[in-house]
Structure 1
Amino acid sequence: MELGESGIESLPELCVAHAISLTSPRDACRLSAVSAAFRGAATSDTVWDHFLPTDWQSLVSRAVYPVEFSSSSSKRDIFFRLCDPILIDDGKMSFSLDRSSGAKCYMLSARELFITWADTPQYWTWDCLPESRFAEVAELIDVCWLEIRGKIESRMLSQRTTYAAYLIFRISDVSHGLGYPPQEASVKVGGHSSTKTVCLQPSDMLSHMHARRASALFGYCVRCRRLMITAEAEEAAEEAEEVDGAPQARNDDWMELELGEFYIDEGDDGEVNISLLEMKGGDWKKGLIIEGIEIRPKNNR
């Protein structure tokens, strides 16, 4: 059906803009390419002002480096500028908008996290990496007790949005003990919490399992060896099945590991508490480099 004077082109642009503002930034961009009738409305300030969070100016005022807009900047220009991470709060956190939904995203720097023994040089060191958006990253030297915790206020996030928290990290060339035992990740919001088993370095987990199976070959008779190998293989398979999260490569040369997801409803208050722990095995670990924990809308990357 072709659009004519009796179709969308006959409607006032303000009316069309209002309808588009009820969709999403992604939809508005798609609609702007449909026809000239949509283009004017889909790029209007009426639409993009609706996509901007009401506190965007307050967030920009917290920027480490001034974020300036000219008098000719449209709300669409402002929106897409805010889609690029902006360092705020003395560089301990970054803020951005999700391009698809307009939801607020944050990354807590390693300095903003609680990391057990982080200020003890024999266990952790603080380094500057040019690939990081933050001034410092934390590198694990040697610990047998891995405890990383972060938190953010619910009111800082976008309402009626499903979020996920991700550890942003790298593994150094001299890593050890980051695959086995696997880690426990959890997210808690109010009275709701979720916990799952994750693995920072799956290749290390597999190496550990192979080593355990090989050790079963020593010190036993042939029959005992056979029984031991079978038991080890079954135990290894069970542990691998329990792992519910593995790292994924990002386009910024870092890795990310999902720690859990949560929903922010209208009127939610209080804290979102996020953690990654491995404190039961007693195995020594090294080579984990932490940039921070990112909180962004689920499945939006």
Structure 2
Amino acid sequence: MVAAGEHLYDLPEDCISTIISLTSPPDALKLSLVNSIFRSVAELDCVWNAFLPSDWQEIAGNSVTPLKFSSKRELFLCLCSSILIDGGNKTFALDKSTGKKSYVISAKELSIVYGDEPEHWNWKTIPESRFAEVAELKMICRLEIQGKMKTGELSPNTTYGAYLLIKISERSFGLDSIPVEISIAVGDQESVSSTAYLRHPRNKKKEQMESLFYRNRVEMLKTRVNKGDKRMPCEREDGWLEIELGEFFNGGNGDEEIIMRLMEVKGYHVKGGVVIEGIELRPKH
């Protein structure tokens, strides 16, 4: 405790650094603006070590492009900007406010039914993607996409959300008539399921036209789909749409497998025009 008449910055440097390391990255950045003493302490490596994941060396070494930093503070800010890892098949980033880990698993790392058959899927490069290739659905009846990851790669004691990142082309068809089934399972826990529409949130006219022409068939197929809250894609700042596949709490007590899935296999229903970038796992606030 600081005695009356004394200031916090009158404490020894190691005490100040310990106090700052028990706050948060945004707090450390703000405290560095208070005065020259706080600035010098708030930039120490021992402070920013507390905000970095314990395996930061492995993550930095796995970066496709060598990281350039002269301090742990610079490294933290660099990792907050998202880096390509695993040969360009994943991205890694730290949450700026908490230092928690997040990943995006590319479409190449996902299991996509018939994904290697050119008559169904087209693998191509687009400037909007962070990855070398995305998967574009040409035409298919059975849509099934699955991603896997281990809880040990994520931050412990954290609630995570899993999000499928997509684009829906202007020439899409058959995607939004019937909801797809989405689910997430961790380890031996029973999977948590729901439903979602592969529909652009601003494309109401197309939805109404398909409903008019295929109303009877669509209503019949809907009865075969599991009940759920019928989630809708949300627009992101980076131009992609995301559908939340589910959420889970990572207690950090083991290294269990996370299985994230989207599928629409109920009946012969032709569809096409969705672009898959990957699945993002990020902390929920």
- Superposition TM-score tier, normalisation by shorter sequence: 0.7 to 0.9
Aligned to 1:224: none
Amino acid in the other structure paired with 2:50: H
Q: What TM-score, normalized by structure 2, do the two folds share?
A: 0.86
Encode CA deviations 1:99-135: one digit per residue, 9 max, x unaligned: 1111111111100000000011111110011221111
Aligned to 2:168: 171
Change (3 A) 1:196 1:206: farther
Pairwise CA RMSD: 2.7
> Is residue 113 from structure 1 mapped to residue 110 from structure 2 by the alignment?
yes
| Partner residue of 1:149 out of 142, 146, 150 | 146
Q: How far apart, in 2, do the equivalents of 1:283 and 1:208 lie?
A: 15
Change (3 A) 1:174 1:29: same
Shift of 1:36: 5.0
Shift of 1:4: 7.8
Aligned to 1:133: 130
Aligned to 2:56: 56
User: What pairs up with 1:68-147 in 2 under 5 angstroms?
Assistant: 68-69=68-69, 73-147=70-144
Shift of 1:139: 0.1
Aligned to 2:12: 12
Aligned to 2:66: 66
Shift of 1:142: 0.7
Change (3 A) 1:204 1:49: same
Q: How far apart, in 1, do the equivalents of 2:164 and 2:125 lie?
A: 18
Aligned to 1:43: 43
Do the aligned partners of 1:165 and 1:294 also contact (CA within 8 Å) in 2? yes
Do the aligned partners of 1:8 and 1:37 also contact (CA within 8 Å) in 2? no
| Partner residue of 2:193 out of 181, 192, 195 | 195
Shift of 1:180: 2.1
Amino acid in the other structure paired with 2:90: M
SS in 1 for 2:80: coil
Q: Which runs of 5+ in 2 are unaligned?
A: none
> Is residue 246 from structure 1 mapped to residue 243 from structure 2 by the alignment?
no
| Partner residue of 2:244 out of 240, 255, 258 | 258
Q: How far apart, in 1, do the equivalents of 2:13 and 2:204 lie?
A: 59
Encode CA deviations 1:2-26: one digit per residue, 9 max, x unaligned: x985232322232122122122212
Do the aligned partners of 1:150 and 1:273 also contact (CA within 8 Å) in 2? yes
| Partner residue of 2:270 out of 284, 288, 293 | 284
Q: How far apart, in 2, do the equivalents of 1:117 and 1:99 lie?
A: 38
Q: How far apart, in 2, do the equivalents of 1:184 and 1:249 lie?
A: 20
Change (3 A) 1:174 1:215: closer
> Is residue 273 from structure 1 mapped to residue 220 from structure 2 by the alignment?
no
Change (3 A) 1:42 1:142: same
Which has the higher mean CA deviation after the structures are superposed, 80-89 or 110-119?
80-89
Shift of 1:74: 1.5
Do the aligned partners of 2:177 and 2:210 also contact (CA within 8 Å) in 1? no
Q: How far apart, in 1, do the equivalents of 2:266 and 2:213 lie?
A: 24
Which has the higher mean CA deviation after the structures are superposed, 79-88 or 22-31?
22-31
Shift of 1:196: 1.6
Q: How far apart, in 2, do the equivalents of 1:294 and 1:105 lie?
A: 7
Change (3 A) 1:18 1:191: same
Amino acid in the other structure paired with 1:279: V
Q: How far apart, in 1, do the equivalents of 2:175 and 2:51 lie?
A: 41
Do the aligned partners of 2:152 and 2:252 also contact (CA within 8 Å) in 1? no
Do the aligned partners of 1:20 and 1:28 also contact (CA within 8 Å) in 2? yes
Larger Rg over CA atoms:
1
Q: Which runs of 5+ in 1 are unaligned?
A: 217-227
Shift of 1:82: 1.0
Aligned to 2:158: 161
Do the aligned partners of 1:165 and 1:295 also contact (CA within 8 Å) in 2? yes
Q: How far apart, in 2, do the equivalents of 1:137 and 1:145 lie?
A: 19
Shift of 1:27: 2.7
Encode CA deviations 1:262-292: one digit per residue, 9 max, x unaligned: 1111322121111111111432111100111
Do the aligned partners of 1:87 and 1:93 also contact (CA within 8 Å) in 2? yes
Identity of aligned residues (%): 45
